[in-house]
Amino acid sequence: MSQATPRIIPIQSASPMAESETPEPTLSPAEEWSKDRIALDQFSREKNWPEVLKILRRLSVKHKNAEIYKALAQRIWVGLKTEAPAIEVVESLFHLLNTLGPRHELSPAICALAHLLVKHRSPDHEDRDLAIGQSQQMFALVCDAYKVIGDEAFAIWVKALRLDDPNHYLPMIFKGLEMMVGDTWWIDKEGLQEELEQAQRAA
């Protein structure tokens, strides 16, 4: 009885390309910052504001250097000017509140703006409850710092600071953001403002 010829299974060797592949080098914080700034410039030129906002968020949260506050201010500015979900803008306002401190002169206005956003913007967003909770936390921090206790005292405080009047506190906040950024903006501020004005004229 003849024996069956044994089956020979070829051994597959790794391809030369696979052998030569090396993992991408880890970027230093300065290199990551530079890479994000380049991407920000590109998306700003393209007027791709959602991507601009993503990059500004990363610049203001992930990195640790002297310019993160400029990134935070521009992140808030873009979020307010575009149709970003309330949660995105409220989170950035909470970050600003923690940066400035609850006793800062702008802190009550920041809380009022967060409350306004959760009340009127993206009411059906899946994170609306989270945004509401954060705006309430912000008010609690500031009221504690200003020693505002009880509903009656809160109502008096709101009236005294005109926190129920966006036409009063919004210019204050925008002026504060512009002071944080300084003379050099990383985004096409005028381009975005022009888009908004065109949309208003067309409405």
C-alpha 124 chain-centroid distance: 20
Residue 9 has pLDDT above 60, yes or no: no
Burial class (CB in 10 A: 0-12, 13-18, 19+), 195: middle
Q: State mean pLDDT over 70-82.
A: 96
Which residues make Cβ contacts (< 8 Å) with residue 191, sequence separation at least 6?
44, 47
pTM of the model: 0.84
Q: What is the DSSP letter of 103?
A: T
Burial class (CB in 10 A: 0-12, 13-18, 19+), 58: middle
Residue 109 has pLDDT above 80, yes or no: yes
